[in-house]
Structure formats: structure tokens, C-alpha cells
Amino acid sequence: MGLKENRFTKTFQEEQFPELKAQLIAAAGFDVALNIEWETLFEDRFLHLYKDSYPKIYFIPLIEAFKAITADDMGKEALAEGLKEVRITNTQDHHNPKNAYSFVDGILTVDHSPILNADQVENRTEVLTDLLEKNL
């Protein structure tokens, strides 16, 4: 990552990430381990859009899916016992959530393009919720 990307990441981590992480923890009901590979989440030509797209692509769908899963005690227990880590990365530039999410050995991987289809939050939430319900 260059200076421009490092500046954006630092600003995002200081200004937006703490609230998103707090919402994620509240939705899950426990302190979810996050492994975010920040250096993979960039395409230089889209840097100006990330402030809006990061939450929509990486965090809001997780928060909403966790809320759906933890709507009852059975879901809360299943998530707490089954989810060890959330890994956020972009290694394959997926923009279709059916290809971008996996759940293996307690690790939920979000391998999604940081920009494409950002406004399709509900679609990502549905796919994540379904994936978790099938694997917890």
C-alpha cells in the first residue's frame, strides 16, 4: 500500500471502524475476532468511494446477519460456539456474495471486491445469514 492508501486506512480505522466493530460485537453478543487484510482492499482508482463502500460491503451485512442469527437463544449459542474468527480480504475480486463468502472450521471468510455492487447490502446479508444458518 502506498501513502494514499495508508492514509485512508488510518482515517477509516480511527473514524468509522470503532463504531462498526462495536455494532458487530453487539450483534454477535461477543467480541468477534476480526482478521482484516487491509492491504488487499484497494483499487487505486476507487479510493474516493471506499468511505461509503467499506461499511456496505464488509460490515453492515455482517452486523445484520449476526442480528438475524442471534434473534433467539439458540442462535446466540450457536454463533458463540461456532464462530472463531471473521476474515475480511479481497484475493479473488468477487462481487457476487455467493462466491465471496465461506465458513470453514469456524472461520467466516469475506473475500469480496471493495467496490462492486456496494449498494446490494440486503443481498449480501441474505447470503451470509443463509451460510451461517447452514453451518452453525
**How confident is the model at residue 115, as a pLDDT?**
82
The predicted structure's pLDDT at residue 49: 80
The answer to whether 29 and 80 are in contact (CB under 8 A) is yes
Element (DSSP H or E) covering residue 95: none
The C-alpha atoms of residue 115 and residue 132 are separated, in whole angstroms, by 24
**DSSP class of 79:** H
Report pLDDT for 92.
92
Angle between helices 121-135 and 60-69 (to 10 degrees): 40
CB 12 within 8 A of CB 50: yes
Closest CA to 98 of 83, 78, 79, 120: 120
Per-residue pLDDT at 117: 85
Q: With a threshold of 0.85, does the pTM exceed it?
A: yes
Pairing of strands 34-36, 101-104: unpaired
Q: Is 50 helix (H, G, I), strand (E, B) or coil?
A: helix
The per-residue pLDDT string of the chain (136 residues; one tens digit each, 9 = 90 and over) reads 788 888 989 999 999 999 999 999 999 999 999 999 999 988 767 777 888 999 999 999 999 999 999 999 999 999 999 999 999 999 998 989 999 999 999 999 999 998 878 999 999 999 999 999 999 9
Q: How far is the CA of 52 from the CAs of 58, 90, 110, 117, 133, in angstroms?
A: 11, 17, 18, 12, 28
